[in-house]
Structure formats: C-alpha cells, structure tokens
Amino acid sequence: MIMDIEFNSQEELYKRVKPALTSKRRELKRYGIDVKEEEIWMYLVDTEFKNGNNLTLSDIVSSIMHIEKETFLK
C-alpha cells in the first residue's frame, strides 16, 4: 500500500525530514564542515526544490543525502 502524504507547510515538511538533515550535518561535520540543518534545508529550497512540484518525501530525503560536501566548502 502506497501512502500519499501531504504537508500543509514547509515547516511541517522540514520537521518530517529533520532526521535526514541531522544525519547529513553529522556526515559533513566528519569532513570538518560545520553547517546547520537549516542551512542545508535552505540550500535545497533555493536550488533543488525551487521548481519542484509534487516532490515525494523520498525525493526530498534523497536530495538531502546526496548533497556533496563541496557544496558547503567555503
């Protein structure tokens, strides 16, 4: 059975994917990159999700987990 999950706000979606954001933050920290979950989220909102309608939860989590560390190197 496939469940369609709808979110009423970006904040609600953010809370749902926060574990994936935390995991990515920890991974980046191992490379010496200190970034917050909110920064990862805003990067994706501004780039990957900008034109994305009807993204699935798995698409969003996949985008989070596949961010390259070079994205946040300063």
Q: Give the C-alpha separation, 54 to 72, whole Å.
A: 27
Residue-level pLDDT at 71: 92
Using CA atoms, how far apart are residues 20 and 37, in angstroms rounded to an integer? 9
Residues 10-56 have pLDDT tens digits of: 888 899 999 999 999 999 999 999 999 999 999 999 998 887 677 88
Residue 9, CA distances (Å) to 12, 59, 65 in order? 5, 17, 22
**Residue 1 reports pLDDT greater than 50:** no
Q: For 63, list phi and psi in degrees, rounded to 5.
A: -60, -40
Rg over CA atoms, the chain: 13
